[in-house]
Amino acid sequence: MHIGFLGLGNMGAPMARNLLKAGHRLSVFDPVPAAVAALVEAGAHAVDSAGAVATADVEVIVTMLPAAAQVKAVYLGDDGLLAHARPRVLLIDCSTIDPHSAREVAAAAEAQGNPMLDAPVSGGTGGAAAGTLTFMVGGSDADFARARPLLAAMGKNIVHCGGHGNGQAAKVANNLLLGISMIGVAEAMNLGVALGVDPQVLAGVINTSSGRCWSSDTYNPFPGVMDNVPAARGYSGGFGCDLMLKDLGLASEAARQARQPVILGALAQQLYQTFSAQGHGGLDFSAIINLYRKEPQA
């Protein structure tokens, strides 16, 4: 299949590579020339603009962009995708943005005859490279069925969450809970250890009890409890604090518009903000445990 692909950053580039590996033909665009060059070397065809992706003879266009502002510009701009896309070309936006904007862009697309899906991912750059991403997809049953094989070339868990924007809504809800859970684990581990329990013993108790959660049993933030997690390598790599901060910002803004309280969520957002303002926004989000670290006594 001939596919257009826009956005070749840390996530988009490995996703595009997986589509090439699956045998698809790709026409790609990114404002960073080196990003384009790397994909061309891997077998993609370069075009000059978002509009040129749309005018290429593609059946599907995939976008992976930083935020809603870029999504709106790329889709709704004067030289954007909607201005040039041929009828019935399927548009799949994998960016993480707010559900409201996702619905706005989808409505514009469908009004002119282009089916659209929002399909944000989880799994990070590791999952993007390994082709094991989770896709949370919003849109019609038929469009989801059409996109599924394509998404399966880039991920292994493809979930249909309902109509337009529901992929974003599900992701925002999941990451709200993730952001809270991680701080909860940080507090529980630090408290138990301060009270004298060995960290591995404590994690063992929690992971077989009612406190069990992904942040504890798969991504424990306390150093020495697990291997192969950011806590085992100085909190490098992984999912950055500033990305968690972005997602919690989407969650609290969506909550505000829906007039729905997110009390712990808003506090979690502020704690990541505090930690980021102290200069640690580039560390993995599990480093938030250091906000609770006590200074050694003199």
Contacts (CB under 8 A) with its own copies, residues 138-157: 157
Min CB(263)–its own copies separation in Å: 4
246: three-class secondary structure by DSSP: helix
Q: Which range in 3-11, 51-59, 139-147, 273-281 contacts its own copies by CB under 8 A?
A: 273-281
> Using the rule CB under 8 A, which residue among 13, 173, 225, 241 binds its own copies?
173
Spatial separation of the C-alpha atoms in residues 77 and 19, rounded to whole Å = 26
> Using the rule CB under 8 A, which residue among 101, 114, 175, 286 binds its own copies?
175
* Helix pair 199-207, 166-194: axis angle to 10 deg: 140
Min CB(129)–its own copies separation in Å: 18
First to last CA, the chain: 66
276 binds its own copies (CB under 8 A): yes
21 catalytic? Reply is no
Catalytic residue chosen out of the listed positions 21, 72, 171, 294: 171
Spatial separation of the C-alpha atoms in residues 153 and 148, rounded to whole Å = 9
Spatial separation of the C-alpha atoms in residues 105 and 99, rounded to whole Å = 10
Measured from the CB atom, the residue of 55 and 157 that comes closer to its own copies is 157
Min CB(107)–its own copies separation in Å: 14
259: three-class secondary structure by DSSP: coil
Count CB atoms within 10 A of the CB of residue 69: 11
Measured from the CB atom, the residue of 111 and 195 that comes closer to its own copies is 195
- 32 near 65, Cβ under 8 Å? no
Footprint on residues 113-132 left by its own copies (CB under 8 A): 122
Spatial separation of the C-alpha atoms in residues 252 and 191, rounded to whole Å = 28
> Using the rule CB under 8 A, which residue among 23, 78, 88, 210 binds its own copies?
210
Measured from the CB atom, the residue of 39 and 92 that comes closer to its own copies is 92
Q: Per-residue string for binding with its own copies, 67-106, x by CB under 8 A?
A: --------------------------------x-------
What tokens appear for 17 in the block? 């590579």
Spatial separation of the C-alpha atoms in residues 276 and 283, rounded to whole Å = 9
The β-bridge partners of 60 are 3, 90
Residues forming the active site: 171
